[in-house]
Structure 1
Amino acid sequence: MPSDEIQYKKNLSDESITDFVECFWMVDNSTGVEKEVVVMPDANFDLVFSKDKDEPFQIYLLGLGTLYDKRNIEANTKMFFISFKLLAAEYIFQQSIAHLLNEFQLLPNNYLGFVESDLDDFDSFCLKANHIIKELIPKTIDSRKQKLFELIYTSNGEMSIKEFSEKTFWESRQINRYFTKYFGISLKVYCGFLRFRVSFDQIKKGELYPELNFSDQAHFSREVKKLSGVNPRELSRNENDRFIQVSAIDNK
């Protein structure tokens, strides 16, 4: 018997790949009817594995999102996601993803050895993905880039570009050139998306006052509305599990 709501599940990545992978998550619409959801910028790019009753198994690379987007998930659709941190673009995929801002790139349906049957069990999929990605990590990584992203994520995007530059011994101009080349946005813009993503957890708990570097409540509300289409209170209500990234958070 179909569930009335879309089912979400999220697993963290293995510690050995956390420089490159944020998490794994799944969306399963077994409701028997099409559902509208809202996808918001979450500071990651995704490798997506999808299957529904009318379409063949598909794998695609979904670039960084800069806007909220209303989408329909068809009935009997299952999707698994690997949410990648930015360092993975250069060192796992060995390509720029600047051309994929708010876009996707279809990949072969056996990409990296994944097949349709991997969608049968989410936990097994996560184990397989952990192993595959671990094998793809190169032995040599630019230490400045590794340090930069460590600072970006541990600070939740709260440091200034000058601070990032000073702590990595990497000129601000070069950092922004790198971001533009590989990701299509500046580091400052990216940090804004990261702060927004970090607020999902507090908003889901009903904590509607900014905890990060927003100048005041009005600034926080404007940023949330710009990137989700609604104010923080409506986002916290998340009626019918419409806001997909918030719905995937487990507060238990």
Structure 2
Amino acid sequence: MLDWITSPEAWAALVTLTAMEIILGIDNVVFISLVVQKLPPAQALRARQVGLSAALILRIALLFALTWLIGLQQTLFSAFGHDFSWRDIILMGGGAFLIAKATQEMHGALEGEDELEADDGPGTYAQRAFLAVVAQVILLDLVFSVDSILTAIGMAEHLAIMVLAVIIAVSIMFAASGPLSAFIAAHPTTKMLALAFLVLIGVTLVADGFGAHIPKGYIYAAMAFSVMVEMLNVAASGRRRRRIAARHAEEQQ
């Protein structure tokens, strides 16, 4: 059972599969980092812990249910010249949810409706907001987990390798989600860019569900280019603020 430990091919598969899981988990990390913005820091940490723990449990459970998971790709019905499966329905539902959620968050940010209401005790808005965030994270975890595990099937022969890759990837996702959430909170333009990413990811999920596969490489390349431009904007804005502060300090002297 553990004979793969001495196999170089198995270790190469582990590294490749872990890298792929991390890349596919970028969408999940961005979504979690955004939806926890309305929560107080302590609840935001709990929400990330619960959300990514659910992602880990879901992915491992799906790995142990490979037969059922592969069955999700079997044709359920045909329409518009395309054979739809449960996988397609899950992807379309998750994509539609992402588009709706990101659009709602954009509207809230533009209208100034994204501030958390005061917490007056148990059963208040803050508690309901926490439960709503956790529910949304788990729902998207299911969508991303199905897509991730279906992509991973066939890349490794041993179930232990796939489980280990998922554990490593989710651990890295949890480590990255906190700094990313803090960075997005500190830079409103970055938050809007992240929401635009979620709309783009939602569109690709819906398109994939309809059989129009868009290579993820194109999506991530566009995201990476946009992030580089945004980093330049953030750096330029920071330098501009420092120059203004230094000028004001000189004038006061």
TM-score by length of 2: 0.28
Which has more strand, going by share of residues? 1
Which has more helix, going by share of residues? 2
- Greater CA radius of gyration, 1 or 2? 2
TM-score by length of 1: 0.28
